[in-house]
Amino acid sequence: MEHILIIDDEAPIRSMIRLILERAGYAVAEAADGIEGIQRFREKPADLIITDLIMPNKDGIGMILELKKEFSAVKIIAMSGGGLNRPEGYLRGAKKLGAAHTLSKPISRQELLRAVADTLKGQTEASPA
């Protein structure tokens, strides 16, 4: 059973993603920010990380940089609602840093499960032209 780590500062979003993934047969762990996410990954590496980009303490971009430096093969899906800004810039940055897939919030169940399955198989989304 594949193990997925969800990192998001919003507990309701973590819970929703957790429920979707557990119902699909994945083992799931959670973290509330990038610092906790890195710590959990070091303690028990996951097959996949799904992370928000805008978080307190350590944002998703900083976390991706740190994890990719230490664990170059880590598989990551980045997601963002953009906060006060549009999410596309954050997601483009995450993609350049090595995120296999990027998702704009709100995320549908089908979109999430497709991105997870593709990323776990080693497939990445096409980069925008």
Ordered alpha helix ranges (H), 1-129: 11-23, 34-43, 60-70, 87-96, 109-120
Residue 100 sits at the vertex; the CA angle it makes with 68 and 24, to the nearest 5 degrees, is 110
How far apart, in whole angstroms, are the C-alpha atoms of residue 19 and residue 24? 9
The whole-model pTM stands at 0.92
Question: Can you give the pLDDT of all 129 residues of the chain as single tens digits?
Answer: 999 999 999 999 999 999 999 999 999 999 999 999 999 999 999 999 999 999 999 999 999 999 999 999 999 999 998 654 555 778 888 999 999 999 998 899 999 999 999 999 998 876 543
